[in-house]
Amino acid sequence: MADARYDAIAEFYSGGFDSVDDPASQALLELLGPVVGLDVLDVACGHGRITRELARRGASVVGVDMSGQLIAKAVEAERAERLGIRYVHTDASAPGALRGVSFDAVVCHFGLSDIDDLDGAAAAISGALRPSGRFVFAILHPCFGGGTDIAGSWPTSGSYYDEGRWTPDEARSTLRRRVGASHRMLSTYVRTLRGHDLWLDEVAEPRPAPGWDPARDADRKPVHLVVRAVRAADRGDSRRSFP
């Protein structure tokens, strides 16, 4: 497996992004709903901030990420606070990465913009979900064009219709200046999910926390998008797990 972009910034990322109190995280957890007794997969789990919250809420959780450095930090946190989480170092979008496992729900918190192969990820997630299983994800809103000094979903020199990977240079985009991001139109997300039997069920567009954009552009534009999709096809409830 190729080195992950986050390996080089694991210390920066784990130190600066470790809260679930922000509006997007709270909206993701709300759309997911109660998880007591459920098997949940956290795709692109990073150092495990959402993973740990799911476990604390009563879920049996597996976290997967292609960054070995972030998985190591997640494992270290699990040793310090035993929550029964299983972490797996793998690229969830790679063919066969999630084969032979199944879950009641899958979450992905701001990870889809880091995954180059959206179709491969959607196929793997759909294949890992049990009948009527939920897939809940949060992303930077594809319609957000950026603020005065913070990057949006696409380059200020381009447009919403220009899909692809890019690296911003706005001063306050401290993470994306290091790892870049993939911009996709809303229609691309919906079409890709639908192509793998993941049907749109609910959407939230939470306002960011106060001070997120000092120029107040966030008061006029959507910033975060949280989506719940449901695996519609009935394939029988085969209860599998990582070996």
Between residues 35 and 217, the one the model is more confident about: 35
Give the C-alpha separation, 179 to 200, whole Å: 29
Q: Any idea which residue has 């790679």 for tokens?
A: 94
34-46 residue pLDDT tens? 999 999 999 999 9
H-state helical runs in the chain: 10-16, 23-32, 49-56, 68-80, 118-128, 176-179, 186-194
| C-beta of residue 1 within 8 angstroms of C-beta of residue 90 | yes
Which residues make beta-bridge pairs with 137? 108, 227
134-171 residue pLDDT tens? 999 999 999 887 666 777 888 888 899 999 998 877 76
| C-beta of residue 205 within 8 angstroms of C-beta of residue 141 | yes
pLDDT computed for residue 237 by the predictor: 47
For the chain, which residues make up each domain, given as ranges?
A: 5-231
pLDDT higher than threshold 80 for residue 183: yes
Q: Report which DSSP code applies to 207.
A: P
| C-beta of residue 138 within 8 angstroms of C-beta of residue 211 | no
Q: Report which DSSP code applies to 188.
A: H
Q: Domain 5-231 falls in which CATH fold?
A: Rossmann fold (3.40.50)
